[in-house]
Amino acid sequence: MEMDWRFERNILLLSLVAVWFVGWLVGHSAWFIALFLLCYVVVQFYRLQNLCDWAQSSDPESIPFEQGLFGQLAYQIYQSKKHGVTQKINVRNQLERFKKLISIFPDGVVILSLSNEIKWFNDRASALLGLKEQDTAQHINHLIRFPKFTRLLSQAEQDGVLVMAGPVNESNLVAEKIEIRVLPYGQNERLLLVRDVTKVERANQMRKDFVSNASHELRTPLTVLKGYVEMLLTDTAADRARVEKSLQKVDQQVSKMQTMVDELLLLSKLEEAEIDKATDVINIHNLFEQLDSEFQPLSKQKKQPLRFDIQPGADLKANKNAILTVLRNLIANAIHYTEQRGEVRVSWSINTDGQGVITVKDTGKGIAARHLARLTERFYRVPENNIMHKNGTGLGLAIVKHELERHEAQLLIESQVGEGSRFQCLFPSKRVCHTA
Ligand code: ADP
């Protein structure tokens, strides 16, 4: 830069001397110098204009001057222009990266102005709140018209949270429950975060239902127990037979409570249990023999034949105790919910898809269709069937379902009121072990 300035200055001085000399020769040195300076200013002005035009243009590559002072100046402008473009590209890339990052966020993000105008939102927010591209610049409280939501937005500076039903988006509900949080963001904006909390809310509801069901189920036998104990304490003159009868009732209630607590413990263990990876093969014939001898007394008492059928040639890869638990529950139910002289059949077969199927079929009371989907819920009992098995806990089928899930198996329930029920356990073909 220094060199070019000196060079430019020297050229100017030499030119001035030359012009003065020529002017002195012809006797008009002052006019010559004035004319030369005028030309010099015009040329420099023209070059400056070129430089300005180029500096404002969007094409930094077409540098107008390569040499001299203007060349240096153009080069400096070129450098800072290039630096500016690189910086712009960097900022744009960073912005794109940030947008991409937010767009893959599992939660919805909406940027709002202080007057609740939508400035930007990601795909998840669009799905959870039903926002569309054309909603940008609209007031969000005009699109989501829930009083609680409007109240949340009006808490200007605070960080507020709200759980509400997810809006129905084009007749399709994306999330049953959503959590909305509004946070101050920058100076003139707010950030609205949306999260699908359907599962968390369901789990909370289940926990509440469970506590209330369990306390309700335990309270009934406890009330009966208390009644008998009080009676025994006050009625000191009661004869041996009466005392014995009362104690038998107490024993029944204690057994029911014990069963319930054992089943609850088993259920909580099953909830944490992993998929059964046992490679043990259960001999179905031996399994059915064991169940036959366990249940014959009960089926004889109810004068119901209990039959076992086996399609030969295959056994089952599973945990024997788990399958015993499943079948004990299903067979006990079939016997309990079938009148005297009904029939219970247990069978093992392989279906056309190669699945191993254990079926427990009865000719009992049957279950109305409206109850079928809820049978495996904890404590769910069919009110009209309760009378047939007063000691039932409503936990048996929940245990069956969990044990089967642990064996990658499915439970199919079919039933007709007055005709009977069929419970099928379908095990995947990989768990079938062909023996013949
Ligand atoms: P429970 O201890 O009450 O038998 P379960 O979970 O085993 O509990 O069964 C839930 C409900 O399903 C029962 O209360 C009963 O009403 C109904 N149920 C189960 N199996 C049968 C069946 N084979 N026939 C008719 N109803 C049944």
Question: How far is CA 119 from each of CA 57, 98, 189, 194, 367, rounded to the nearest angstrom?
Answer: 32, 16, 9, 16, 55
Atom of ligand 1 nearest to the CA of 398: 6
Q: By alpha-carbon position, which residue is closest to atom 13 of ligand 1?
A: 381
The residue whose CA is least distant from atom 19 of ligand 1 is 333
Q: By the 8 A CB rule, do 63 and 79 touch?
A: no
Residue 137, C-beta contacts closer than 8 angstroms, at least 6 positions apart: 117, 118, 119
Q: Rounded to whole angstroms, how far apart are CA atoms 129 and 149? A: 12
CA proximity to 338, closest of 290, 372, 297, 389: 389
Residue recorded with tokens 């926002």: 131
Q: Which atom of ligand 1 is nearest to the CA of 380?
A: 10
Ligand 1 atom nearest 364 alpha carbon: 24
Quick one: which atom of ligand 1 is closest to the CA of 392?
2
Q: Which amino acid is at 317?
A: K
Residue nearest to atom 7 of ligand 1 (CA): 396
**Counting beta carbons within 10 angstroms of the beta carbon of residue 353, is it exposed (0 to 12), middle (13 to 18) or buried (19 or more)?**
exposed
Look up residue 269 and give its two tokens.
């263990």
CA of 379 to the centre of ligand 1 (A): 10
Contact criterion met (CB below 8 Å) for 382 and 360: no
- Going from the Cα of 382 to the center of ligand 1, the distance in angstroms, rounded, reads 7
Alpha helix (H) ranges present in 280-381?
284-301, 320-336, 369-372
Supply the DSSP string of 38-86, one letter for each residue: HHHHHHHHHHHHHHHHHHHSS-TT--S--SHHHHHHHHHHHHHHHHHHH
Task: For residues 168 and 76, give the distance between their C-alpha atoms in angstroms, rounded to a whole number.
Answer: 59
Mind listing the pLDDT tens digit of every residue in the chain (436 residues)? 555 678 888 888 999 999 999 999 999 999 999 999 999 999 989 989 988 988 888 777 777 877 778 888 888 888 888 888 889 999 999 988 887 888 778 899 999 998 999 998 988 898 898 888 899 999 998 888 888 888 888 876 666 788 888 876 655 667 889 999 998 888 888 889 999 999 998 888 888 888 888 888 888 889 988 998 888 888 877 788 888 888 898 998 899 889 999 999 999 899 888 888 877 899 999 999 999 999 999 999 999 999 999 999 999 999 999 999 999 999 999 999 999 889 999 999 999 999 999 999 999 999 999 999 999 999 999 988 888 888 888 999 999 999 999 999 999 999 999 999 999 999 999 999 998 7
pLDDT in tens, 351-369: 999 999 999 999 999 999 9
CA of 247 relative to ligand 1 center, distance in Å: 28
Structural tokens at position 95? 């912005």
Task: Quote the ligand 1 centre to 14 CA distance (angstroms).
Answer: 115
Ligand 1 atom with the shortest distance to the CA of 366: 25
DSSP state of 362: E
In the chain, the largest separation of any two C-alpha atoms, in whole Å, equals: 159
325, 333, 371, best to mutate for ligand 1 pocket (most atoms within 8 Å of CB): 333
**Residue 109 CA to ligand 1 centre (angstroms):** 47
DSSP assignment letter at 429? G
Output the ligand 1 site: residues, CB below 6 A: 329, 333-334, 337, 362, 364-365, 367, 375, 380-382, 385, 389, 392-397, 421
Residues 195 and 205: their CA atoms lie apart, in Å, by 18
- Tell me which amino acid residue 161 is: V
Q: How far apart are CA 302 and CA 58, in angstroms?
A: 96
Work out the angle at residue 404's Cα, subtended by the Cα atoms of residues 400 and 410, and round it to the nearest 5 degrees.
105
Cβ count within 10 A of residue 194: 24
For residue 299, the CA-to-ligand 1 centroid distance in Å is 17
Closest CA to 379 of 216, 228, 246: 216
Ligand 1 centroid – CA 64 distance (Å): 92
Question: To test the ligand 1 pocket, which listed residue (397, 411, 422, 425) has its Cβ within 8 A of the most ligand atoms?
Answer: 397
Ligand 1 centroid to 333 CA: how many Å? Answer: 6
- Distance from the CA of 194 to the center of ligand 1, in angstroms? 41
Counting ligand 1 atoms within 8 A of each CB, the residue from 381, 386, 399 with the most, and so the one to mutate, is 381
